[in-house]
A and B are shown apart, each in its own frame.
Chain A
């Protein structure tokens, strides 16, 4: 079932700028993950943050998690044209391996 809301729905930025998108969820989670989807393709796992973690970095990606607000953010620094894609957050509940996806944010990076 869907439990994530993401904002903004769409984001257009210039190459080199940072892109920030947010995700909110409704129920307790085990982990929160971010995925990227290029148009018409499958999803690529970007980063996973556990419920007891507050911040995580991977290359140009920075993810934060605030379990008290049930929200997460994904920051992409120094964006590139190749970062153009849709980004989804996904959560799984304790003792449940099924993922619930957010609505997604479509990011367009202009050269």
Chain B
């Protein structure tokens, strides 16, 4: 089945630095990927929709300059948390859908990245 690889799984960074998270579709092409943020014991909040070859679409309240998204190829989207602060600490998850398989298989999610800003 479709596999989405997300790296790193965990990262600790200092305040003020930037962190890049990668999301790769391993065996399918993903023209669209989605980035979510999840706080402990809470649900997933959609941050942005990443579109291959064009600008990402951000959800209301998500700072575009804070969370930079690049989707330069059909298999790779990256989320860069710029000038990270402790309040950016969270679990970030990406997802994509293999359109060739139709709707019955839903979306495939990466394994998530636990970001801790100290």
Residue ranges of A at the interface with B (Cβ–Cβ < 8 Å): 1-2, 4, 31, 33, 35, 40-45, 48, 50, 88, 97-104, 106
Which of these, A35, A41, A104, contacts B106 with CB under 8 Å? A35
Within 8 A of A (CB), among B40-81: 41-46, 49, 59-60
CB distance A41 to B107 under 8 Å?
A: no
Tier of interface size on chain B: 20 to 34
State the Cβ distance, B95 to closest chain A Cβ, in Å. Answer: 7
Q: A40-B114, A42-B93, A43-B95 are in contact. Are A101 and B43 (CB under 8 A)?
A: yes
Neighbouring A residues of B49 by C-beta, 8 Å: 98
Bound-state Cα–Cα, A104 to B97, Å = 21
State the Cβ distance, A8 to closest chain B Cβ, in Å. Answer: 14
CB distance A48 to B46 under 8 Å?
A: no
Q: Other than the known A1-B60, A48-B103, A98-B46, what 12 A-B pairs have Cβ atoms closer than 8 Å?
A: A31-B103, A35-B109, A41-B111, A42-B93, A43-B95, A45-B105, A45-B106, A45-B109, A48-B106, A99-B107, A101-B43, A101-B45
Residue ranges of B at the interface with A (Cβ–Cβ < 8 Å): 4, 6, 32, 34, 41-46, 49, 59-60, 91, 93, 95, 97, 103-112, 114
> SS class of chain A's interface: helix, strand, loop or mixed?
strand
Neighbouring B residues of A2 by C-beta, 8 Å: 43, 45
Which of these, B4, B41, B44, contacts A101 with CB under 8 Å? B44
CB distance A50 to B43 under 8 Å?
A: no
CB distance A42 to B6 under 8 Å?
A: yes
State the Cβ distance, A106 to closest chain B Cβ, in Å. Answer: 8
